Homo-oligomer: A and B are copies of this chain.
Amino acid sequence: MLEVKVEPELEQLAVNTIRFLAVDAVEKAKSGHPGLPSGAADYAYVLWTKYLKFNPSVPSWQDRDRFVLSAGHGSMLLYALLHLSGYNLSMEQIKNFRQWGSITPGHPEHELAPGVESTTGPLGQGFANGVGMAIAAKMMAARFNRPGYPIIGHRVYAIVSDGDLMEGISHEAASLAGHLGLDNIIYIYDDNHISIEGDTELAYSDDVEDRFEGYGWHVQRINGHDRKAADEAIHAAVNEDRRPSLIIARTHIGYGAPHKQDTKDAHGEALGPEEVEAMKKNLGWPLEPTFLVPESVYELFSERRKLLEEAFHEWSVMFMHYREEYPQEARVWADMMGLKVPDNITDRLIGTVDMSKDAATRESSGVVMQEIAKCVPGFCGGSADLAPSTRTILEDYGHIEKDRFDGRNFHFGVREHAMGGICTGLALNGGLIPYAATFLIFSDYMRPTLRLASMQHVQVVYVYTHDSVFLGEDGPTHEPIEHLTSIRAIPGINIIRPADAAETAVAWAVAMKNHHGPTALALTRQKVPQIQRQDSQSALGLEKGAYVISDPDGQLDLILIASGSEVHVAVAAAGMLAENGLKARVVSFPSHELFEQQSREYKETILPPDINNRVVIEAASPMSWYRYAGPYGLIIGLDRFGASAPWKAIAKELGYTPEAVTQRVMEYIEQRRQEPKRPTIDGAPACE
User: Chain B residues with Cβ under 8 A from A214's Cβ?
Assistant: 206-214
User: Chain B residues with Cβ under 8 A from A452's Cβ?
Assistant: 477
User: Chain B residues with Cβ under 8 A from A606's Cβ?
Assistant: 687
User: Chain B residues with Cβ under 8 A from A72's Cβ?
Assistant: 477
Q: A119-B477, A197-B383 are in contact. List 12 more A-B contacts (CB 8 A).
A: A100-B645, A100-B650, A105-B644, A107-B474, A120-B477, A167-B415, A179-B203, A447-B447, A481-B490, A488-B623, A627-B681, A630-B687
Nearest B residue to A454 via CB reads B641
Contact B628 A627 (CB under 8 A): no
Interface residue stretch chosen among A41-49, A129-137, A386-394: A386-394
Task: Tell me the A180-225 residues at the B interface (CB within 8 Å).
Answer: 195-197, 202-216
Interface residue stretch chosen among A343-351, A406-414, A499-507, A573-581: A406-414
**Interface membership of A604, Cβ < 8 A:** yes
User: Chain B residues with Cβ under 8 A from A609's Cβ?
Assistant: 679, 687-688
User: Chain B residues with Cβ under 8 A from A640's Cβ?
Assistant: 491
Taken together as a complex, chains A and B put the C-alpha atoms of A209 and B175 apart, in Å, by: 14
Taken together as a complex, chains A and B put the C-alpha atoms of A212 and B32 apart, in Å, by: 35
User: Chain B residues with Cβ under 8 A from A418's Cβ?
Assistant: 168
Task: Tell me the A620-653 residues at the B interface (CB within 8 Å).
Answer: 621, 623-624, 626-628, 630-631, 639-641, 643-646, 649-650, 653
Interface size class of A (residues with CB under 8 A): 35 or more
Contact A202 B411 (CB under 8 A): yes
User: Chain B residues with Cβ under 8 A from A631's Cβ?
Assistant: 630-631, 688
**Interface membership of A486, Cβ < 8 A:** yes
Contact B107 A475 (CB under 8 A): yes
Taken together as a complex, chains A and B put the C-alpha atoms of A264 and B386 apart, in Å, by: 12
Q: What are some 20 contacts across the A-B interface (CB < 8 A)?
A: A32-B473, A100-B649, A100-B653, A107-B477, A121-B475, A121-B477, A166-B415, A168-B169, A203-B412, A206-B216, A207-B213, A209-B214, A214-B214, A264-B388, A451-B482, A451-B641, A482-B489, A489-B489, A491-B640, A627-B686
Contact A172 B166 (CB under 8 A): yes
Interface residue stretch chosen among A252-260, A281-289, A437-445: A437-445
Question: Known contacts A107-B644, A172-B166: does B122 contact A478 (CB below 8 Å)?
Answer: yes
**Interface membership of A153, Cβ < 8 A:** no
Contact A168 B168 (CB under 8 A): yes
Q: Give which listed residue, B101, B208, B475, B603, contacts A105 with CB less than 8 A.
A: B475
Question: Hey, which bits of chain A sit against chain B, CB under 8 A?
Answer: 29, 31-32, 72, 98-102, 105-107, 109, 119-123, 162-163, 166-172, 175-176, 178-179, 195-197, 202-216, 264, 383, 385-389, 399, 411-418, 441-442, 444-445, 447-448, 451-452, 454-455, 472-478, 481-482, 485-486, 488-492, 600, 603-604, 606-607, 609, 612, 621, 623-624, 626-628, 630-631, 639-641, 643-646, 649-650, 653, 679, 681-682, 685-688
Question: Known contacts A196-B386, A411-B202, A455-B476: does B604 contact A687 (CB below 8 Å)?
Answer: yes
User: Chain B residues with Cβ under 8 A from A387's Cβ?
Assistant: 196-197
Contact B389 A196 (CB under 8 A): yes
Copies in the complex: 2
Nearest B residue to A100 via CB reads B645
A567 vs chain B, min Cβ distance (A): 18
User: Chain B residues with Cβ under 8 A from A210's Cβ?
Assistant: 210-211, 213-214
User: Chain B residues with Cβ under 8 A from A211's Cβ?
Assistant: 210-211, 214-215
User: Chain B residues with Cβ under 8 A from A454's Cβ?
Assistant: 641
User: Chain B residues with Cβ under 8 A from A100's Cβ?
Assistant: 643-646, 649-650, 653
Taken together as a complex, chains A and B put the C-alpha atoms of A649 and B98 apart, in Å, by: 11
Nearest B residue to A203 via CB reads B413
A162 vs chain B, min Cβ distance (A): 7
Taken together as a complex, chains A and B put the C-alpha atoms of A482 and B624 apart, in Å, by: 12
Taken together as a complex, chains A and B put the C-alpha atoms of A467 and B620 apart, in Å, by: 26
Nearest B residue to A623 via CB reads B489
Q: Give which listed residue, B106, B162, B171, B389, contacts A172 with CB less than 8 A.
A: B171
User: Chain B residues with Cβ under 8 A from A171's Cβ?
Assistant: 168, 171-172
